[in-house]
């Protein structure tokens, strides 16, 4: 089912698609591939929205920086100095997080209207990013397919091809609050990561892969999240062909459990310490499956280069349960 959600200033219509299965209901916008709402039952069977979102299109246009629920690219997270080398050429990007590039630039995938095609139990979003869009090389044909599984899990499968060498890193930027409105700092989190990537004052990785043992980054056993995180975790197992479970978020009050499975090598934990506007700091927790920040400038990190004839593929599954 789809309906008109609003109209952009240039007259472009934005539609909202609703998917429902196994007690889970998700609403997805053609603007930015945004997961606007995601309802799942608590331990008493009462449905509630577990992601942050705005009620109307104007909310997303007025408050774009949190990237609420958005499909982020062409390169999710930060690229240092807004520049990277590829095959002997240095490409200059939009420094929208000066001096760095963040989440694909000022007009990244999160601010584009996507073509939407219904598929079984879901929708396929697609678009073509032109060569030079936000400074990135290569004409990129990209898609993200959102489907609800038989158990109500939300699966997002990304694919992309290019006509010239480029870099690609895609993610979903939903902020989860399994208890509904309020601070999410009391949620308990587990991440299957023995290492993380330390960052400098601009949140750019130093290049080290640090052991989490004895640090506040050790979530190998579930514990309360708290605040003060905007860091990439190096997931045990690295890149995989099939999505494997890498994280679990639990809200003791509602009993809701979120599991995250992915093929990606990294997970960015962001505790939303800088949220503003209608939301307060800590109102949600972002768990962004991804390749590492600044990988195009770090050859020692897992590669993000896509070449002609190759296929970018990535998959993340958000599962919902109670206990």
- What are the CA-CA distances from residue 236 to residues 211, 217, 220 (Å)? 12, 14, 10
Non-local (6+) Cβ contacts of 139 within 8 A are: 128, 129, 130, 131, 162, 163, 164
| Model pTM score | 0.97
Report the DSSP pairing between strands 13-21 and 24-29. Answer: antiparallel
Number of domains in the chain: 1
- Residue by residue, DSSP assigns 169-192 as B-EE--EE-TTSSS--TT-EEEE-
The pLDDT tens digits of the residues spanning 17-60 come to: 999 999 999 999 999 999 999 999 999 999 999 999 999 999 99
- Collapsing DSSP states into helix, strand and coil, what is residue 62? helix
Average pLDDT, the chain: 97
Whole-angstrom Cα distance, residue 42 to residue 269?
Answer: 24
CATH number for position 165: 2.70.98.10
Is the separation of the CB atoms in 4 and 18 below 8 Å?
no
pLDDT confidence of residue 1: 78
Bigger pLDDT: 185 vs 19: 19
Please identify every residue annotated as catalytic. 173, 288
* Domain encompassing residue 272: 2-322
Q: Is the dihedral of CA 276, 74, 292, 313 positive or negative?
A: positive
Does the pLDDT at position 4 exceed 90? yes
Does the pLDDT at position 252 exceed 90? yes
Banded model confidence at residue 90, pLDDT cuts 50, 70, 90: very high
- Collapsing DSSP states into helix, strand and coil, what is residue 117? strand
């Amino acid at each position: 089912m789809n309906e008109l959600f609003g109209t952009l200033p240039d007259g472009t219509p934005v539609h909202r698609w609703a998917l429902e299965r196994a007690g889970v209901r998700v609403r997805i916008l053609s603007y930015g591939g945004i997961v606007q709402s995601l309802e799942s039952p608590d331990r008493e069977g009462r449905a509630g929205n577990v992601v942050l979102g705005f009620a109307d299109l104007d909310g997303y246009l007025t408050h774009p920086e949190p990237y609420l629920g958005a499909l982020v690219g062409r390169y999710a997270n930060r690229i240092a100095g807004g520049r990277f080398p590829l095959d002997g050429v240095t490409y200059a990007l939009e420094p929208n997080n000066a001096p760095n590039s963040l989440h694909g630039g000022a007009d990244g995938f999160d601010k584009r209207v996507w073509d939407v095609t219904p598929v079984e139990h879901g929708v396929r979003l697609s678009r073509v990013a032109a060569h030079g869009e936000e400074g990135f090389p290569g004409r990129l044909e990209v898609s993200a397919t959102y489907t609800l599984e038989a158990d109500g899990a939300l699966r997002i499968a990304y694919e992309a091809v290019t006509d010239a060498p480029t870099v690609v890193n895609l993610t979903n930027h939903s902020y989860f609050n399994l208890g509904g409105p309020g601070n999410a700092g009391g949620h308990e989190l587990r991440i299957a990561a023995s290492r993380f990537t330390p960052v400098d004052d601009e949140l750019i990785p130093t290049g080290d892969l640090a052991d989490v043992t004895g640090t506040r980054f050790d979530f190998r056993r579930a514990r309360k999240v708290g605040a003060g995180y905007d860091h990439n975790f190096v997931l045990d197992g690295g890149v995989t062909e099939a999505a494997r479970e890498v994280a679990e978020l639990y809200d003791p009050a509602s009993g809701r459990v979120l599991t995250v499975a992915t093929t990606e090598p990294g997970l960015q934990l962001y505790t939303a310490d800088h949220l503003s506007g209608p939301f307060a700091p800590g109102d949600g927790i972002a768990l962004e499956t991804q390749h590492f920040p600044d990988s195009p400038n770090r050859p020692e990190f897992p590669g993000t280069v896509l070449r002609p004839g190759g296929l970018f593929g990535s998959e993340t599954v958000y599962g919902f349960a109670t206990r």
